[in-house]
Structure 1
């Protein structure tokens, strides 16, 4: 047998180590998300960002390449084209929804009553605390690692489920903090539970779309664009919705 060819036992050990590392990463990022939402320190708001930066360094050190993470230079042009179209479509869609009075109340998010704060969030906090870290973690590292061992459908499905579960903590109290959603689901325990289930289902479906974009284009840029446009446009739309009554 060629000494350069790994034995069956060596391949099994390598695969087991791979899964241990992936599980450790998932536990770490979920712990970071929980810490961020249940503490009120300035530094804890950046803990997911810091975790993502460390995770990228470890992923590269473990053998993942730029192509695995969706940031290979040869994907920039294609990724930029998709990203530009996505941003225009999403922002126009949010603008149209905001212009329709029955839909406007769905944007009434208490976190963005102030327009200056919504703009600061849209261009600073949302990109650096949410969009970039989450896309690097889920569509970059986790998807890239899964694609090395599994089929495309399995890889997209697994990261989508994880992305949906990632939003359990952040969706607690969703119906209380959003007037429009609270009016639909209610604000009691049942309403809060429905808010969590709905948020997990919605973000899980969004994760599947993000994953498809990542595989389709080979680039992380369209995922970043869609994630940012939806969140940032939603924040600004919320502030405008309050002003429009």
Structure 2
């Protein structure tokens, strides 16, 4: 699952203009961007998104409609939010690809959390945080 998530993230990074990504704020900062990147990666985005999408939306919809529908719905919302945020700078096609990739990642994290981790959002948070941190490091050292 980590490989799948990382491949999706790397595809998005190379497909989009680096300035459209949230992690572009760390472009060229090198090591001095590490502490801000850690805060961004683990708290600002990953923790808040995992609490909202998998912890709140996913669990509520799963309890009402069953896990399959609830997980698909939270993943779709996760993908749509990411696509909408990129639409004005990335265009329709790139936004659609981002929606698909982030939706699949959200769906996978939903399975990881609920079916493989007893309902805990911690594994999804760790995976999401690592993905965001890798993206930030790519920006910090201008590897894209």
User: Which category describes the TM-score, using the shorter chain as reference length?
Assistant: 0.7 to 0.9
Q: Which of 109, 114, 139 is the aligned partner of 1:210?
A: 109
Q: Which of 116, 136, 142 is the aligned partner of 1:235?
A: 136
- Normalising by the residue count of structure 2, what TM-score does the alignment of the two structures yield? 0.75
Question: Hey, what's the Cα distance between the residues in 2 that align with 1:233 and 1:154?
Answer: 31
Question: Hey, what's the Cα distance between the residues in 2 that align with 1:113 and 1:199?
Answer: 24
- Normalising by the residue count of structure 1, what TM-score does the alignment of the two structures yield? 0.47
What is the CA distance between 1:168 and its match in structure 2?
Answer: 2.5
C-alpha deviations, 1:139-173, integer Å up to 9, x for none?
00111112222221111111111111111232135
Q: Which of 77, 86, 91 is the aligned partner of 1:171?
A: 86
Q: Secondary structure at the match of 1:145?
A: helix
Question: Hey, what's the Cα distance between the residues in 2 that align with 1:198 and 1:140?
Answer: 25
- Please report the RMSD computed on the Cα atoms of aligned residues, expressed in angstroms: 2.9
Flag the structure with higher helix content. Answer: 2
Question: Which structure has more RCO (C-alpha within 8 Å, separation ≥ 6)?
Answer: 2
Question: Hey, what's the Cα distance between the residues in 2 that align with 1:137 and 1:128?
Answer: 13
Q: Which of 111, 119, 124 is the aligned partner of 2:34?
A: 119
**Aligned length in residues:** 131
Question: Residue 199 of structure 1 aligns with which residue?
Answer: 98
Cα 1:236–1:203 change in 2 (3 A) is same
C-alpha deviations, 1:168-190, integer Å up to 9, x for none?
23213554xxxxxxxxxxxxxxx
Residue ranges of structure 1 left out of the alignment (5+ in a row): 1-84, 98-102, 176-191
Q: Which of 102, 106, 121 is the aligned partner of 1:220?
A: 121
Greater Rg over alpha carbons, structure: 1
Contact map agreement 1:121 1:232 (CA 8 A) in 2 = no
